Amino acid sequence: MKLYNTLTRKLDDVAPLDGRTVRIYSCGPTVYDHVHIGNLSAYIFADTLRRALKVAGNLETQHAMNYTDVDDKTIRRSHERFPDDDPAAALVKLTDECISIFNEDMVRIGNDASALTFVRATDPKTIWGMQDLITKLHAGGFAYIADDGVYFSIEAYKKAGKTYGQLLELSSANTSEARIQNDEYDKESVHDFALWKTQKDGEPSWDFTLDGHDLKGRPGWHIECSVMSRQILGQPFDIHTGGVDLIFPHHENEIAQSTALEDNPVMATIFAHNEHVLVDGKKMAKSAKNFYTLQDVIAKGFDPLAFRVKMLQSHYRSQVNFTWESLEAAQNLLQNLRAWADLKHQKAAHNAAASAGYKEAIQKVFDAVQDDLDTPSAFVQLAKLVADGETSGVDPDKIQPLLNILDRLFGLSLAERPDIAHEQKDLLAEREAARGSKDWTRSDELRGTLGKQGIGVRDTDGGPVWFRQ
């Protein structure tokens, strides 16, 4: 499988470092609120990448994702929501709630959460690991203690012969005087970033002593991913995913933290980044208030999987402009896919010869997803299968295995769709009888009854074929 690597700026082959299992780490959500559908698109990307490696690439995978459950936003929001609780308890209440909503969203959009190992930044093991790494970085001369916390020294990192700026060319213009002066933190150099922040009033904290200093406080953002990825996957691992906005500084800083003390300059072989979902041509962002949540999508009457289809119909490295109209098109396509899958229940649509192209189609789908996760091309093949099914029917023996594969690859839940109810079958049979005796009034009446139950009927040479509307 080929995947675009931000580190090398080209398509690289995914070849597991240990020769057996592709280890993937995906930056997860900051759990202070509902995530928006732009956030979810990043997880659809990561989920589809893992599925493609497993199903099309026939590789073992191990996939980890974090919950950032302590930062400025989670702390502030937990105060607002639970003002009477002490800071630590309020933080747990808020983040527990947000994590549970997030997990529901993940399932609704078809992501296989069971394939993921989730870790919280505040997990005691993570906290301990972060403190341990900070202690070692400090001992190695890569971290220094300031008034408000512990910082990573990029100068020391560079002096050790390491490259800061592996993912992004950093120009001197980035170090503007204005930014240095506006910076409220007490760091030595603009790019230096906090590994640990000492406690401010009303903030939750963890005990930490470093070099005789009492640094009771909380971790910085970047350090958690360095530690969690190493604890779960080891290091270096194979693929690190995230949105393009995380390229700098987050992933750059992760690399610095993770490689400062190592001989190997690489944290992960491949960094893969997904582009953003836009609304009205602008980046969807909480701060711009131009975002939608999955709850908004559902409230508008859409199936969450229609959003998945919408995302899979475009390439992960292209920006997608989200509009309700385009979501409707995706929902229609989803409905067509479902109608195709439902043909397996219907004798009138069975045709043993229909499977002639299945093998080739699935091969084309596999080829597409293995070519830098080209899901749009894969969906062209799906559309062809659907069109063939409508004209030529489906092979009752071969379609189920095909649906199973497609579900494992795309997560659209096409394989386990149930048959219609016996009562509805009886109505269909009754309508056929009425048609046989040319009782068109009765026939149309029965079609109307089925229509009210969400079942449409089309008459074919082989008999009536129903479809869910």
**Residues 277-336 close enough to bind RNA by CB under 7 A:** 277-278, 281-287, 313-315, 318-321, 323, 325-326, 328-329, 332-333, 336
Q: Considering the rule CB under 7 A, would residue 159 count as an interface residue with RNA?
A: no
Residues 212-241 that bind RNA (CB under 7 A): 221
Q: Considering the rule CB under 7 A, would residue 110 count as an interface residue with RNA?
A: no
Residue type for position 460 = T
Q: Considering the rule CB under 7 A, would residue 342 count as an interface residue with RNA?
A: no
Decide if 28 contacts 121 (C-beta within 8 A): no
Q: Considering the rule CB under 7 A, would residue 113 count as an interface residue with RNA?
A: no
Smallest gap from residue 198 Cβ to RNA (A):
17
Which neighbouring-strand residues pair with 458? 465
Q: How many residues bind RNA (CB under 7 A)?
A: 80
Residue closer to RNA (CB basis): 213 or 440 = 440
Smallest gap from residue 209 Cβ to RNA (A):
26
Residue closer to RNA (CB basis): 69 or 123 = 69
In what helix (H) or strand (E) does residue 278 lie, and over which residues does it extend? strand 277-279
Q: Considering the rule CB under 7 A, would residue 179 count as an interface residue with RNA?
A: yes
Exposed / middle / buried, residue 367 (Cβ in 10 Å: 0-12, 13-18, 19+): middle
How far apart (Å, rounded) are the C-alpha atoms in residues 200 and 75?
A: 11
How far apart (Å, rounded) are the C-alpha atoms in residues 339 and 336?
A: 5
Residue closer to RNA (CB basis): 193 or 237 = 193
Residue closer to RNA (CB basis): 268 or 284 = 284
Q: Considering the rule CB under 7 A, would residue 379 count as an interface residue with RNA?
A: yes
Residues 25-44 that bind RNA (CB under 7 A): 27, 29-30, 35-36, 38-39, 41-42
Residue 286's SS3 state is: coil
Residue closer to RNA (CB basis): 401 or 442 = 442
Piece of the chain touching RNA by CB under 7 A; list 74-82, 152-160, 228-236, 376-384: 376-384
Q: Considering the rule CB under 7 A, would residue 383 count as an interface residue with RNA?
A: yes
Residue closer to RNA (CB basis): 40 or 134 = 40
Smallest gap from residue 208 Cβ to RNA (A):
21
How far apart (Å, rounded) are the C-alpha atoms in residues 204 and 86?
A: 8
Which of these, 392, 406, 402, 401, lies nearest to 353 by C-alpha position?
392
Smallest gap from residue 20 Cβ to RNA (A):
28
Smallest gap from residue 241 Cβ to RNA (A):
8
How far apart (Å, rounded) are the C-alpha atoms in residues 283 and 274?
A: 13
Which of these, 109, 31, 40, lies nearest to 284 by C-alpha position?
40
Q: Considering the rule CB under 7 A, would residue 189 count as an interface residue with RNA?
A: no
Residue closer to RNA (CB basis): 363 or 460 = 460
- Out of 456, 462, 463, 468, the only residue in the binding site for RNA (CB under 7 A) is 456
Binding mask 434-453 for RNA (x = CB under 7 A): -x----x--xx---------
Q: Considering the rule CB under 7 A, would residue 76 count as an interface residue with RNA?
A: no
The position carrying tokens 């009888």 is: 433
Smallest gap from residue 115 Cβ to RNA (A):
18
Q: Considering the rule CB under 7 A, would residue 364 count as an interface residue with RNA?
A: no
Which neighbouring-strand residues pair with 67? 120
Decide if 3 contacts 14 (C-beta within 8 A): yes
Decide if 466 contacts 459 (C-beta within 8 A): no
Residue closer to RNA (CB basis): 376 or 401 = 376
Smallest gap from residue 394 Cβ to RNA (A):
13
For 143, phi and psi rounded to 5 degrees? -135, 145
How far apart (Å, rounded) are the C-alpha atoms in residues 85 and 73?
A: 17
Residue 421's SS3 state is: coil
Q: Considering the rule CB under 7 A, would residue 168 count as an interface residue with RNA?
A: yes
Smallest gap from residue 320 Cβ to RNA (A):
5
How far apart (Å, rounded) are the C-alpha atoms in residues 224 and 233?
A: 14
- Out of 247, 266, 348, 356, the only residue in the binding site for RNA (CB under 7 A) is 247
Which of these, 64, 181, 186, lies nearest to 126 by C-alpha position?
64
Give the sign of the dihedral formed by CA 175, CA 177, CA 181, CA 187: positive
Decide if 316 contacts 358 (C-beta within 8 A): no
